[in-house]
């Protein structure tokens, strides 16, 4: 599986249930990487999708503890065992974990690649992604040249899990 996130300098990813910032080229990259693939998201993350709906042209799998949660055009699972059963029908190279904080934390160990947009700014975030730079299991494979959106500077970094 792969994991994808946009993180600030301190690995912040969100505040008050919303993304820290919306960068058009980051959104474009997210779409390019995930269209035609499977995405795994938590219920609160799905609430941030346009209209709170499943993302089109993707298989949406929603991980939630809420037994009554329903969403049109999405597969709902309630624990990691159920998620594993559903994912067994897919090529794991085509599965992207897209957030939020608790879903990232639960599934990072099952991923072998991370696509991280590194934003050179520190927001007052209340949700964070695990710091891959401090995790000995992960190494940065490559990073794009610095890009700018208004006054924000950012890069696209790819991390890979080291084989033990």
Number of domains comprising the chain? 1
Mean pLDDT of 59-75: 97
If you average pLDDT over residues 137-146, what whole number do you get? 97
Ramachandran sector of residue 115 (left: φ over 0; alpha: ψ -120 to 50; beta: rest) = beta
CATH number for the domain that contains residue 97: 3.40.430.10
Q: Residue 163: which pLDDT band, with cuts at 50, 70 and 90?
A: confident
Reply yes or no on whether the pLDDT at 150 is more than 90.
yes
The percent of residues in the chain predicted with pLDDT above 70, rounded, is 99
Per-residue pLDDT tens over the stretch 3-24: 999 999 999 999 999 999 999 9
Q: Kindly report the average pLDDT of the chain as a whole number.
A: 97
Helix, coil or strand: residue 46: helix
Q: What's the domain range around 25?
A: 2-161
Q: How far is CA 17 from CA 85, 90, 93, in A?
A: 28, 29, 28
Q: Give residue-wise pLDDT tens across range 109-130.
A: 999 999 999 999 999 999 999 9
Mean pLDDT, range 40-67, rounded to an integer: 96
pTM score, whole prediction: 0.96
């Amino acid at each position: 599986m792969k994991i994808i996130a946009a993180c600030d300098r301190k690995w912040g990813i969100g505040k008050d249930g919303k993304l820290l910032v919306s960068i058009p080229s980051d959104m474009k990259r997210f779409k390019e990487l995930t269209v035609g693939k499977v995405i795994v998201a938590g219920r609160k993350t799905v609430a941030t999708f346009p209209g709170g709906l499943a993302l089109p042209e993707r298989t949406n799998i929603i991980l939630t503890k809420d037994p009554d949660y329903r969403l049109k055009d999405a597969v709902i699972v309630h624990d990691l065992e159920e998620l594993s059963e559903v994912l067994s029908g897919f090529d794991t190279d085509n599965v992207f974990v897209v957030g939020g904080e608790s879903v990232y934390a639960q599934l990072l160990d099952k991923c072998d690649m991370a696509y991280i947009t590194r934003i050179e700014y520190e927001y007052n975030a209340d949700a964070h992604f695990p710091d891959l730079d401090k995790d000995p299991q992960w190494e940065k494979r490559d990073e794009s040249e610095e890009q700018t959106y208004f006054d924000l500077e950012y890069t696209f970094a790819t991390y890979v899990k080291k084989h033990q």
